[in-house]
Chains A and B, each alone.
Chain A
């Protein structure tokens, strides 16, 4: 079955530690996205990538880093510079780079990773 796989489902970070969230898709989508969701808040865009080896900062990129070495993979690293990392992280993909906003496009989401601080 095609889809987006995020791992792990739950992740704990110690102070000063970098952690990496995995996102893999087998939908052959060009564009991939990382969103952060805090309780009672909407999704906020961290980073997005429209093609391999290229990515752009979203609205809240500080303290995060990404790479896009393969079309299928878009890992997110939460660095020690991110002082408030506790949140639900969602990876998404789409057929083009318009963030799910074009008329013939749908944003597909992974199942999410809940990151907490120890």
Chain B
């Protein structure tokens, strides 16, 4: 079982819709959770971080964490074509001083 799993996609949504990206992780001791956005051929950029159960909102982005079920999700409201990118989920497992990345979900927002 991979430590951090994401559906590779592509996830295709129309402009203006809500895009929902999901990530599951295997280590119950995981402490910190991050979403990075990566455009093709570019480096990842951090868009959200979440550390406790529940929702965290930042503009059009909402991160949701459920430690009991070991999943973290990212919702993008009012999706724009400029949101088309690969979204990487990253998890810091308990006791480790490094991030473990998922393979990423490719999001395509079409006009």
Contact = CB atoms under 8 A, between A and B. Distances in A.
Interface of A: 33, 35, 40-45, 48, 58, 88, 90, 97-103, 106-107, 109-112, 114
Give the dominant DSSP class at A's interface: loop
A99 B51 contact: no
Contact of A112 (B43, B45, B100): B43
Contacts, number: 66
A88 B32 CA distance: 25
Given A42-B100, A98-B92, A111-B42, 14 more contacts: A40-B103, A42-B102, A44-B101, A45-B98, A45-B99, A88-B41, A99-B98, A100-B46, A101-B31, A101-B32, A101-B34, A103-B32, A103-B51, A112-B43
B97 interface: yes
Contacts of A101: 31-32, 34, 92, 96-99
B104 A48 contact: no
A97 B46 CA distance: 17
A107 B46 contact: yes
Q: Which 10 residue pairs across A and B have the least CB separation, nearest first?
A: A101-B92, A42-B101, A99-B98, A109-B43, A43-B101, A98-B97, A42-B103, A101-B32, A99-B99, A100-B99
